[in-house]
Amino acid sequence: MTSAREEILARVRTHRPTTPVTVPRDYLPDLTGIDVVEVLVDRLVDYKAGVHRAVAATLPEVLGGLVAASATVVVPPGLPPEWLAGPVVRDAAGAPLSVEALDAPGVTVVTGCAVAIAATGTLILDAAPDQGRRVLSLVPDHHVCVVWTDQITGGVPAALARLADPARPLTLISGPSATSDIELNRVEGVHGPRRLDVIIATRG
């Protein structure tokens, strides 16, 4: 005998919309002819993220300055070793760091990025080797993310099209963790890093 739960799930699986879903054109921002790098920077600053510029040659210096005061610097398994000159703790697949270790005072995590969306000021991490497990960017108090200028897209559709594998677990980051109560009192760090620093880097 079919249970009510099984019947409902069967209906959900077989349901097909009668009309196609379309997104109104005026809902999507027109960024034609606009510098998407500057749009992303503007959005990140508005979200109270720290924004820094670098080229490939100066990336280690910029990163070193941002993590200098950290008690521990954690990196995902595939982060290029030449990015950081100082000691780091690498999150290994065979011996992953615990939540308690990542939540300790003074921990900074440094990651790469899969793609960035200028229109929304959003960074997308997809658990690639230079980004690691989702917990790495969600638990430590300070997150430093490196975004190459050629990873920046104008809007959401273009960003999703750039993902190597949309089935990977995605983390969407729009500024440091923040929430507001009914009186609009802003509180940071409740459900993620209180500090987000983004390095906009140019290759070559």
Per DSSP, the residues of 46-108 read HTT-EEEEEETTTHHHHHHHHHTT-SEEEE-TTS-GGG--S--EE--SSSPPPHHHHTSTTEE
> In the numeric block, which tokens belong to residue 97?
């760091």
- Per residue of the chain (204 residues), give pLDDT as tens: 678 888 888 887 777 666 665 655 555 566 667 899 999 999 999 999 999 999 999 999 999 999 999 999 999 999 999 999 889 999 988 889 999 999 999 999 999 999 999 999 999 999 999 999 999 999 999 999 999 999 999 999 999 999 988 788 999 999 886 665 566 666 665 567 899 999 999 997
Distances (CA, A) of 83 to 24, 128, 153: 42, 17, 24
Do 127 and 163 form a contact (C-beta atoms < 8 A)? no
Q: How many residues does the chain have?
A: 204
Do 154 and 119 form a contact (C-beta atoms < 8 A)? yes
pLDDT given at position 25: 55
Q: Which residues fall within 8 angstroms of residue 9, CB to CB, at 6 or more apart?
A: none
pLDDT given at position 188: 61
Q: Distance between CA atoms of 198 and 8, rounded to whole angstroms?
A: 45
- Full set of structural domains in the chain with CATH: 34-202 (3.40.50.10420)
| pTM for this prediction | 0.81
Q: Could you read off the pLDDT of 91-140 as tens digits, one per residue? A: 988 889 999 999 999 999 999 999 999 999 999 999 999 999 999 999 99
**Which residues is 61 bridged to in the sheet?**
none
pLDDT given at position 12: 78
Closest CA to 51 of 175, 189, 152, 150: 175
Do 201 and 54 form a contact (C-beta atoms < 8 A)? yes
Q: Which residues fall within 8 angstroms of residue 63, CB to CB, at 6 or more apart?
A: 83, 84, 110, 144, 146, 199
pLDDT given at position 175: 86
Q: Distance between CA atoms of 58 and 36, rounded to whole angstroms?
A: 22
Buried/exposed 2-37: b ≥16 CB within 10 Å, e otherwise: eeeeeeeeeeeeeeeeeeeeeeeeeeeeeeeeeebb
